[in-house]
Structure 1
Amino acid sequence: MTAGANALADSLERVVGAQIAGLRRLSAGASRETWAMDAEGRGLILRRDPPAAPDAAGMAREADCFRACARAGVPVPALVAHGDGTDGVGSPYLLMERLDGETIPHRLLREDRWATVRPKLVHQFGEILGRIHAIAPAEVPRLEEDGDPLTRLRESHAVFGEDRPAMELIFRRLERTRPEPVPPTLVHGDFRNGNLLIDDGGVRAVLDWELAHIGDPREDLGWLCARAWRFGERPEVGGFGSFEDLLASYGRATGAYPDPEAVRWWEAYACARWAVLCRIQAERHLGGTEQSVELAVLGRRIAEAEHDALLALGLTGAEVIADPLREHAPVEQPDMYDRPTIDELLNAVTGFLREELTTEDPRSAYLAKVSANALTIVRREMRLGREERAAHRTRLAAIGCADDGELAARIRNGTVPDDDPDIVAVVRSSITAQVVVANPRYLAPARST
């Protein structure tokens, strides 16, 4: 272990009163550090705020959720300890039991190992969400109602001062079609494939409560159905099952059957929210708080989330577009620099990161893949960027806009209707071009099951 890991192990030994062995950082979690360890034969997991971005109040609220859920029969890991980090752990943290199971979506969705478990999951999701939403807000008094969610999302987006016509179009459509509110409940805030520990019996534990709040319970249902959490699979609920089965199981658990159209609205809202969250995460890197290739690449996933929101609102569709990297870039006669060209150098480094780099550290292996993805984004933009920027300027000029700022302002202030086909076409074309650079496979229809 490094000196820092040794110091952390010493502090954790004082917290739990047992010798710590095998302390290692896991790849899970972009917003918090996740560490695994053994304490004299007992497996534990530490979730810790990055030292540069502590949130003691938020961690205390999350601990409250663990205790309330344990009382209500919601499957969660047993909470061993939590603190603000002044005990030597270094930043606010939760320490909990380590449970056996799987969280990695691609394994759960595609490996034969989980074939008999997958059909159970959508029904369990509905039942568990019913239990969560039955917890009275008084059971978690430090959680506050967040106010109007759409207003809050707009404000979070506006903080960055960036002109994104797609987001303005999405906000306008969501405002015009929003459902009537229902009584607020405890909301997990991030209930999805990837934050659920699965074993042979199904859902073993609900993880990652850092976004929990008091709000509309349909938010959790819509978030679970967002396309990002299907990881390319067709079934609408995390890639596991149908929308109808989810609502039916939730209704049986609660006695209240949600309006499907209202949950669809929350699904579109979830896509917009994920776009804003990606930008917030990327800012930790861009603002210098935390240098991280993982956080940096999240900034290029915003367009994917915008595409999903437009898709959920019926404003775009799936399409198959070939990855531009499948074709060899033309090699110009070098006038000063020798070959390999920039593209060839980037391709060589990408191949090394994906195919040749070997490490026993799971997090380093994961970050190598993220880094390789970042380089493929750079290569695609080098090939397509100049042409696509020119095409976008032409499309803007055709609707009388000088730039994205003018188009975003017109959509925001209602100068143009949110259903104007020319406006929608310009926004759709821009987002498609951005996703082609970030991840062209994301535009394709989901695979058949």
Structure 2
Amino acid sequence: MDSTFLAALKAVLKRQVTGFRELRECQQLTAGASQETYRLLVATDRGELRYAFRRNQAAGKDASNLGTVGLATEAELLQLAAEAGIPVPEVIYLLEERDKLGEGFLMQWLEGETLGQRIVRSESLADVRPRLARQCGEVLARLHAIAIDDDALAGLPAVTPAALVQETWDSYQALDIPAPMIDFTARWLLDNLPVNSRRTLVHGDFRNGNLMVDESGVVAVLDWELAQIGDPVRDLGWLCVNSWRFGISDLPVGGFGTIDELLAGYQEQSGIAVSKEALHFWQVFGSFWWSVATLNMAASWRSGETPSLERPVIGRRSSEAQMDCVNLIIPGDFDPPDPIELDQGTQLPMPAELLEGVRNFLQDEVAAADSQRFGFLAKVAANSLGIAQREFLYGPALALEEQERLAALLGKGSLQRLRRQLSCQLRDGMALDSDGLAEHLRRTIAGQLSIDQPGYSALRFSRANP
């Protein structure tokens, strides 16, 4: 770890932590595109104390995360939230220019589970899971009741539902990657905007994965960097997006609860009844937004702005969110590609077999090594190779079928030209109920998802000939 960084951090701790003796541990937990989080173990006259430290990366802000609030504002939001009875870590010190560590803050270290997969499956949380949805509703009601005329909120972006949809759609179009289902969903959203929506503080990323949970329930609401002023139902809908259920699709609230419990907790605390129709809109928007955000992350990797093993794999997750949009607004049956066994051909080994060998090595041996970081990266690498392998096996047949459907809709042309043509026609007002359009989109996204992530829960299908 950089010695200059550690020296500056120790200087801050010496000034701000009473009885400071030494920094015994500084472990980097996350290295997001724009922010870093560290766990600190500090020796003091009172014994060992743990803290969390967040700061902006020195490289600056990532274009794929435009719209995030600064860490100084995030610290103020945490303080406001604590005053409103929302469980959050206590902010201990806000960095100043003299600290030479950039923008950031030191905060209380809390114990609890933050990994969404464990929250929905851990035996130790089995008793509390049925209560989490109602607790989340109560927490969001308190959050949305915070007065938005507070000086700390003056710099937050304020957006209407229509502007939010359009800005997200514009962000996708700027990538110049034709994905007709994204255009279709944007059109649907603009045709179904909420009427007379309220205007409150919105967390912006309230979901399983940004909550800390223990046996008593929600310990803390984390990651306030996407906070804004807007429609509060957005937070409720985002919590119900399928991407954040971690495979437990029959429990739509974070993979741990029901919508009835969520809305009951919200109404009990706020006195406001949220309709399931309003919630549905924001569920669709959440999957739409995530489908675009993942593409933006991949674009930042492709441009060289954010080198990462994970970013290109995250970009492939766009098909997951697009499939969620399919199931929400144009549900229906679809067939996945038939299973294909690895072709042994006349050579030994064939390309797909080479990929299989490397993927198994990464997944079964490297990922099981002692290093937690390299184990995680090995799993990411194995996932990348799995995608490439499935693309190699299924891609040509799926592309041919997609081109044939597009030709029936639009006329002859290359696959790339027809994809772009369909996107353009959707942007120009093509009727969303055009003959064959919904079926084409449903089959196309299901096929792509069978390559990108065949185990994703949205890929529920019924075969024509079981």
TM exceeds 0.5? yes
Of 38, 45, 69, the match for 2:81: 69
How do 1:343-358 residues align onto structure 2 when only pairs under 5 Å count? 343-357=352-366, 358=368
Residue 423 of structure 1: how far off its partner (Å): 1.1
The question of whether the paired residues in 2 share the 8 Å contact of 1:109 and 1:239 is answered with yes
How do 1:287-326 residues align onto structure 2 when only pairs under 5 Å count? 287-313=303-329, 315-317=330-332, 321=336, 324=339
Aligned to 2:17: none
How do 1:171-210 residues align onto structure 2 when only pairs under 5 Å count? 171-210=186-225
Whole-angstrom distance in 2 between the partners of 1:135 and 1:371:
43
Aligned to 1:24: 27
Aligned to 1:286: 302
Whole-angstrom distance in 1 between the partners of 2:442 and 2:176:
21
Deviation per CA, 1:41-80: give whole Å up to 9, x if none. 2212223333323389622221221111111111111112
The letter of the residue matching 1:32 is: Q
The letter of the residue matching 1:372 is: A
The letter of the residue matching 2:372 is: P
Whole-angstrom distance in 2 between the partners of 1:84 and 1:430:
51
Aligned to 1:436: 450
Residue 319 of structure 1: how far off its partner (Å): 6.3
The letter of the residue matching 2:389 is: R
Whole-angstrom distance in 1 between the partners of 2:55 and 2:299:
19
The question of whether the paired residues in 1 share the 8 Å contact of 2:33 and 2:306 is answered with no
1:223 aligns with 2:238: yes
The letter of the residue matching 2:401 is: A
1:379 aligns with 2:389: yes
> 3-state SS of the aligned residue for 1:22?
strand
Of 344, 351, 368, the match for 1:342: 351
How do 1:29-108 residues align onto structure 2 when only pairs under 5 Å count? 32-40=35-43, 41-54=48-61, 58-83=70-95, 87-89=99-101, 91-108=102-119
> 3-state SS of the aligned residue for 2:267?
helix
Whole-angstrom distance in 1 between the partners of 2:185 and 2:69:
32
Q: How many residues align?
A: 434
Residue 370 of structure 1: how far off its partner (Å): 1.3
More off after superposition, 339-348 vs 24-33: 24-33
> 3-state SS of the aligned residue for 1:204?
strand
Taking only the aligned residue pairs, the percentage that are identical comes to 35
Of 403, 425, 428, the match for 2:439: 425
The question of whether the paired residues in 2 share the 8 Å contact of 1:26 and 1:362 is answered with no
The question of whether the paired residues in 2 share the 8 Å contact of 1:322 and 1:440 is answered with no
Of 10, 15, 21, the match for 1:13: 10
More off after superposition, 396-405 vs 187-196: 396-405
Deviation per CA, 1:290-317: give whole Å up to 9, x if none. 110111211100011011112112x134
Runs of 4+ in 1 over 6 A off after TM superposition: none
The letter of the residue matching 1:9 is: L
Q: What are the ranges of 5 or more consecutive residues in structure 2 without an aligned counterpart?
A: 15-19, 63-67, 462-466
Whole-angstrom distance in 2 between the partners of 1:104 and 1:97:
19
Residue 318 of structure 1: how far off its partner (Å): 7.0
Aligned to 1:391: 401
The question of whether the paired residues in 1 share the 8 Å contact of 2:89 and 2:109 is answered with yes
Whole-angstrom distance in 2 between the partners of 1:359 and 1:96:
32
Whole-angstrom distance in 2 between the partners of 1:225 and 1:183:
19
Whole-angstrom distance in 2 between the partners of 1:163 and 1:81:
46
> 3-state SS of the aligned residue for 1:146?
coil
> 3-state SS of the aligned residue for 1:441?
coil
The question of whether the paired residues in 2 share the 8 Å contact of 1:320 and 1:445 is answered with no
Of 133, 142, 145, the match for 2:158: 145
The letter of the residue matching 1:12 is: L
User: Measured at CA, do residues 320 and 113 of structure 1 come closer, stay the same or move farther in structure 2, by a change above 3 Å?
Assistant: farther
Q: What are the ranges of 5 or more consecutive residues in structure 1 without an aligned counterpart?
A: none
